[in-house]
Amino acid sequence: MSEEKRINPQITKVEIGIREMRDIDIYPLSMSDQLKLTDVLSTAIGAFAVKEDGDDIALVSFIVKLINENLGRILGMVSDEDGEKLLEEISNIQAASIAEIIYETNYGVVAKNLKSLFGKMSMFFPSERPLPQSVSPIPDTDSNTSTESPIGTEESPTDS
């Protein structure tokens, strides 16, 4: 086992390259960088959501702009590389693989852990609230309602 993996098992080696392949290390984001990345993505998605034209071309354009403006910066956050220069060495498939590693390492595991934690905490927060003492259920009572009509039927003149 490499020394890096022993120190931090979240470090992932990724093979990149267009003409010549080489390995780079992808590190987990620091909490500060993770919050910055989340803020960048939230702001960008929020800005897109308030636009009135939500057609497919606008969505593709938005995604391309988001990647262009932020991918090099993100790659710099998760590696020892100059993120902008690294863009010249990776393919789209390699970038997608790196993005998946970044998500799983920094968000996917955290989401699973938080879901588990909330499940454990649910015993402290019951989903059904008990009724207050002043709103106790009304007990069943016997009813002596008659099915006979209290008003008699009128005899018709032909009945006599």
Instruction: Report angle CA 107, 27, 37 to the nearest 5 degrees.
Output: 45
Considering the entire predicted model, what is its pTM?
0.59
pLDDT at 81: 92
Q: Which two tokens stand for residue 133?
A: 């003492």
The mean pLDDT value for 95-105 works out to 89
Helix, strand, coil share (%) of the chain residues, nearest 5: 55, 5, 40
The 3-state DSSP class for residue 107 equals: helix
The mean pLDDT value for 121-126 works out to 71
Given a cut of 70, whether residue 57 has pLDDT beyond it is yes
- Band of residue 89 on the pLDDT scale cut at 50, 70, 90: very high
Other Cβ atoms within 10 Å of 81 Cβ, number: 18
Average confidence score pLDDT of the chain: 77
Given a cut of 70, whether residue 86 has pLDDT beyond it is yes
